[in-house]
Amino acid sequence: MRQDIKQFINGEWVSSHSGKTLDVINPATEEVMGQIAAGNKQDVDDAVVAAKKVYVKFRNTSLEERKALLERIADEYENRKEDLIDVMTDELGSPIEKSESVHYQMGLNHFREASKAIDSIQFEERRGDDLVVKEAIGVAGLVTPWNFPTNQTSLKLAGAFAAGSPVVLKPSEETPFAAIILAEIFEKAGVPKGVFNLVNGDGQSVGDPLSSHPDVRMMSFTGSGPTGRKIMENSAKDFKKVSLELGGKSPLVVLDDVDIEKAAKGAVAKFVQNTGQVCTAATRTLVPESIKDEFIAAAKKAIENVKVGNPREEGQDTGPVVSKKQFDTVQSYIQKGIDEGATLLHGGVGKPEGLEKGYFVKPTLFTDVTNDMTIAQEEIFGPVGTIITYKDLDEAIEIANDTIYGLAAYVYGNDKDKVREVSKLLEAGTVEINDAGRQPNLPFGGYKQSGIGREWGDYGIEEFLEVKAIPGYYK
């Protein structure tokens, strides 16, 4: 069992003022896998003081120094590859192959990309006799979610370090150990004392005092809408800058000229990946009525082939959801879909056969869904998908955009002009065409209630910068 019961503040591993600990549960076994410190306001105060002391010095480091720092971090991150894969498999329940190909790799990509992206930002711009400067905003508070322990954490840290902002990080108390390994990586890579500070604990005891702290100038948060709203409220008291990446209910628009079997397989993959615990999961598949029957048959075949099991065993597509609370939430949504009259094509309530221990969920797909149903409007955050039919393209666009969210959307089709037309009409921060994937240099963020601001690459660095005009600088 892991015993990581100290905070990392001002370059030192120190005891928490609370003297208390929190248990971390392995979702595949339902057993305690370790303990972390239960931080409090005093820990947050210490961390913010440490960051504030080094802010000006770190802000004024050269771009070359910050690029070199990010490269050293990435090199040391690679040295800890096996440790990161191992811990994410246990704390998140991610299948071990996905822990490597997705979680580990995405974290590494953000540090490498930030180092390159520095060159694309004009930190100083001459306009006649005047100067426009972009400089680090100040101490940044980072609050990260449990579903991507390295990706969401690394993209924020990489952006802040590239900009020159010191940080205080509060990772999720449900998947904290990857962040602890990151702290060890930063220590080894020579991140200056005070530039990175880690305070573990829950939202009330650590997140609230962090977002309310008067010396924190920016809050960057990824997670649920209600928590994002609370962070905005706390930050509004002293007008902190806020960057939020929140929920999604992403549509996947299938056009009538697709390879049906390939599209159905891709659609299923997009809502079962990471056990459905993905803000960008394509949980609403919009299918033309003309190919409905063929598509449903192909989707049934695809979801029947999804392998759910012990994340330590190779060949698994999905593992458990992260906690008992999340398991109960997903079960309630599946039951709600049944109660509201959707047709259960595959899956359902309860655990998969042979997986009675662990928070395992049956990959579930509903048909005969209308967009006003709860399962089509609310974010479930589990491996649950819906198929909704449409008559024509205008109706497809209307259904796709009929949501409070706008984080991601997807289009499948062979007619390039039509696919491009649809992609521009969808209200989402990212619209992926035909499984194109996404590069780490593209901006990431949402429309509507999916968030404020953008992350990844140069856009992520910009979030941590303030703009200063200096008239007469060259006179």
- Angle at which helix 177-189 crosses helix 63-79, to 10 degrees, equals 120
452 neighbors 274 (Cβ within 8 angstroms): no
Tell me, letter by letter, the H, E, C secondary structure of 382-406: CCEEEEEEECCHHHHHHHHHCCCCC
In the chain, what is the greatest distance between 2 CA atoms, to the nearest angstrom? 77
Point out the catalytic residue in the list 91, 113, 173, 245. Answer: 245
Q: Which two tokens stand for residue 381?
A: 């955050």
DSSP 278-339: -TT---EEEEEGGGHHHHHHHHHHHHHT--B--TTSTT-SB---S-HHHHHHHHHHHHHHHH
Helix-strand-coil split of the chain, %, nearest 5: 40, 20, 35
Question: Is the Cβ–Cβ distance between 412 and 253 less than 8 Å?
Answer: yes
Closest CA to 208 of 196, 420, 216, 55: 216
Q: Among 50, 227, 84, 255, which residue's Cα sits nearest to residue 153?
A: 84
Active site residue 245: yes
Residues sharing a CB contact under 8 Å with residue 67, sequence separation 6 or more, in sequence order: 115, 118, 162
Q: Which helix (H) or strand (E) holds 81?
A: helix 81-91
**Spatial contact of 196 and 166, defined as CB atoms under 8 Å apart:** yes
Spatial contact of 135 and 468, defined as CB atoms under 8 Å apart: yes
Residues with catalytic roles: 245
